[in-house]
Amino acid sequence: MGAGIIGIGRFLPEKVVTNADLEKVMDTSDEWIRTRTGIEERRIADDNTNTSDMAFAAAQKAIENAGITAEELDLILVSTVTPDRPFPSVSCMLQERLGAKKAAAMDISAACAGFMYGVVTAKQFVESGGFKYVLVIGVEKLSKITDWNDRNTAVLFGDGAGAAVIGHVKEGRGILSFELGADGTGGKHLYQDEYIIMNGREVFKFAVRQMGESSLNVLEKAGLTKEDVDFLIPHQANIRIMEASRQRLELPVEKMSKTVNKYGNTSAASIPISLVEELEAGKIKDDDLIIMVGFGGGLTWGAIAMRWGR
């Protein structure tokens, strides 16, 4: 038996900030944002909602969806670059709040590739027999590290959380292959000082190349081809980067998840948020082959080929 996703959940703040809202407070336009990024609106958490609050809400849904209890969790992994505070970790805060008394807990910092890092880490524990159930959460409150006077970055980001329970699945299903990588020499192109600082041109070039390459690499590792792919869930950073990945896989438009228009770039949360969206829409079915691929600050990247189903 392999390891796969047996339960999912997400949380999105209620407050919607549209491009028209941003037009009123900075030198930008709806047309400029949409044509360059594909983003139309994003969700922003209020001052009373912390990263741990969003993670908790998504976690509860994933645990319920998996048909288990929090007490059965063996490990909690939280991927975030916006924790409530440096320590204790968000994962430890969740362990207490969920009542997951026997679970170990740690946070992972891999920026927008964080959910990929978390799922692959969980896979190792489950397949080794060390743990039975691992909760992986991608969550960000990027609004608190966004410079709302910088029109080049302020239009891009949103807040939210997505969670998955990793456990044993039937033979032939689950995670078939993966790729994780990092290039620390590119860290200067995307980092946080007080706020997010980004060299958009360099990040764009890196992402277009790496997302496509990683998607093809995990297919090769799994002994599969582009023709086998049923659905692509790319990190929701920029529609042009996402389209480049889709074209490398030669997939029709309807086989790629697109939530960037509604939620913006939610970093580590974007892939699990999108996964929930597509499952609820009935676009992913049991035994479908899905590719999840992301990139982020570090620079980091990760991709997974997964046969959907429990």
**For the segment 68-82, what is each residue's pLDDT rounded down to a tens digit?**
999 999 999 999 999
CATH number at residue 192: 3.40.47.10
Considering the candidates 50, 92, 112, 189, report the single residue annotated as catalytic.
112
Averaged pLDDT score across all residues of the chain = 97
| 168 carries an active-site annotation | no
| 265 carries an active-site annotation | yes
- Give the pLDDT confidence score for residue 226 in this predicted structure: 97
Domain that holds residue 191: 174-254+274-307
**Segment 87-108 mean pLDDT:** 98
DSSP one-letter string for 137-178: EEEEEGGGG--TT-HHHHTTB-EEEEEEEEEEE-TT-EEEEE
Is 103 among the domain residues?
yes
| 92 carries an active-site annotation | no
- The answer to whether residues 3 and 175 touch, using CB atoms and an 8 Å cutoff, is yes
- Give the pLDDT confidence score for residue 201 in this predicted structure: 93
Tell me: the pLDDT tens digits for 102-159?
999 999 999 999 999 999 999 999 999 999 999 999 999 999 999 999 988 999 999 9
Tell me: the pLDDT tens digits for 15-66?
999 999 999 999 999 999 999 999 999 999 999 999 999 999 999 999 999 9
Sign of torsion over alpha carbons 63, 70, 162, 306: negative
- pLDDT of residue 272 exceeding 80, the answer is yes
Q: In angstroms, rounded to a whole number, what is the distance separating the alpha carbons of residues 164 and 45?
A: 21
Q: In angstroms, rounded to a whole number, what is the distance separating the alpha carbons of residues 61 and 65?
A: 6
Q: How many distinct structural domains can be found in the chain?
A: 2
**Segment 180-196 mean pLDDT:** 96
- Give the pLDDT confidence score for residue 198 in this predicted structure: 95
Residues 159 and 201 reside in one and the same domain: no
Residues 100 and 179 reside in one and the same domain: no
Considering the candidates 50, 168, 235, 238, report the single residue annotated as catalytic.
235
Is 263 among the domain residues?
no
Q: What percent of the chain has pLDDT over 90?
A: 99
Confidence of residue 172 (pLDDT cuts 50, 70, 90): very high
- Give the pLDDT confidence score for residue 1 in this predicted structure: 77
